[in-house]
């Protein structure tokens, strides 16, 4: 990941050029999370805009000592999306439930929400565990019930999945460094 410290400082000083740069850097990653979580392209677009609006309005609240900028942005996006979904649930309860029966948590080809990269190469249970908590917005408790495994086992799945990914990312990073060394 890039070092955005300078841009983040300028962003916190209401520099629109810095916001533009940070949007360019993070919007794809954040939009990927949002669209997988809400599974609605139009809504995802609105939520993405709202996420950056909130980040802009509350930029003074970001504390780099407590975590990465991406983490802060992800939490805003996650909460905004979950609020949208809660409102949708209320509307659905008032309407015909059968209309929504076919919608599940499976990947949607049209929305390009299938998992990619190292995550897609993980074991199915590791992949699902991360997808439930990271892309579907479930809590650990909801997710272990969804997977039908004890909470402790589920937590292990998440931890193990991240460790495996870290190894893959470490190798990729090492490979990248080697390529860069060769190029120079």
Partner 1 sequence: MKDRDTIIQSGMLEQYFLGTLPKEQIAALEKMLAEDEILAVKYSEIETDFENIAFENAVQPPNFIKNNLFVAIQDDDPKVKTLPKEEPPAPKSVNPKVLMWIAAGIAAIFMVSSLWMFTQWNTAQDNLQVTQQELNTIKQQIANLEGNLKDSQLLAEVVKDPNTLQYALKGNDKIPGGLATAYINHESKSAVVNAQKLPALPADKTYQMWADVDGEMINMGIIDKSKDVVILQYIDEAASLNITIEPAGGSDHATVAQLVTNVYL
Positions touching partner 1 (CB under 8 A) are 1, 16, 19-20, 23, 27-33, 35-36, 44-45, 48-49, 52-53, 56-57, 65-68, 70-71, 74-75, 78-79, 111-113, 115-119, 130, 133-135, 139-140, 155, 158-159, 162, 165-166, 169
Contact 99, 88 (CB under 8 A): no
User: What does the alpha-carbon distance between residue 68 and residue 90 come to, in Å, rounded to a whole number?
Assistant: 34
Contact 46, 24 (CB under 8 A): no
CA 31, 32, 38, 44 dihedral sign is: positive
Cβ nearer to partner 1, comparing 87 with 116: 116
**Residues composing the chain:** 184
Please give the angle made by the CA atoms of 22, 34 and 79, to the nearest 5 degrees: 90
Cβ nearer to partner 1, comparing 50 with 92: 50
Cβ nearer to partner 1, comparing 147 with 162: 162
Q: How far is CA 58 from CA 9, 27, 78, 86, in A?
A: 13, 17, 16, 23
For the bound state, the minimum distance from the C-beta of residue 97 to partner 1, rounded and expressed in Å, comes to 27
For the bound state, the minimum distance from the C-beta of residue 93 to partner 1, rounded and expressed in Å, comes to 24
For the bound state, the minimum distance from the C-beta of residue 12 to partner 1, rounded and expressed in Å, comes to 15
Q: What are the structure tokens assigned to 128, written together?
A: 């699902």
Cβ nearer to partner 1, comparing 2 with 184: 2
For the bound state, the minimum distance from the C-beta of residue 165 to partner 1, rounded and expressed in Å, comes to 5
């Amino acid at each position: 990941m890039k070092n955005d410290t300078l841009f983040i400082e300028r962003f916190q000083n209401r520099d629109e050029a810095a916001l533009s740069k940070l949007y360019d850097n993070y919007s794809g990653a954040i939009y990927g999370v949002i669209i997988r979580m809400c599974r609605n392209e139009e809504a995802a677009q609105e939520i993405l805009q709202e996420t950056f609006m909130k980040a802009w309005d509350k930029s003074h609240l970001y504390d780099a000592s407590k975590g990465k900028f991406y983490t802060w942005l992800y939490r805003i996006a996650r909460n905004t999306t979950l609020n949208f979904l809660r409102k949708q649930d209320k509307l659905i309860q008032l309407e015909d439930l059968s209309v929504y029966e076919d919608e599940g948590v499976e990947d949607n080809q049209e929305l390009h929400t299938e998992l990619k990269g190292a995550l897609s190469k993980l074991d199915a249970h590791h992949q699902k565990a991360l997808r439930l908590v990271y892309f579907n917005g479930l809590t650990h408790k909801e997710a272990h019930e969804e997977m039908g495994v004890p909470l402790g086992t589920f937590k292990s799945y998440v931890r193990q999945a991240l460790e495996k990914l870290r190894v893959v990312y470490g190798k990729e990073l090492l490979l990248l460094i080697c390529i860069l060394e060769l190029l120079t």
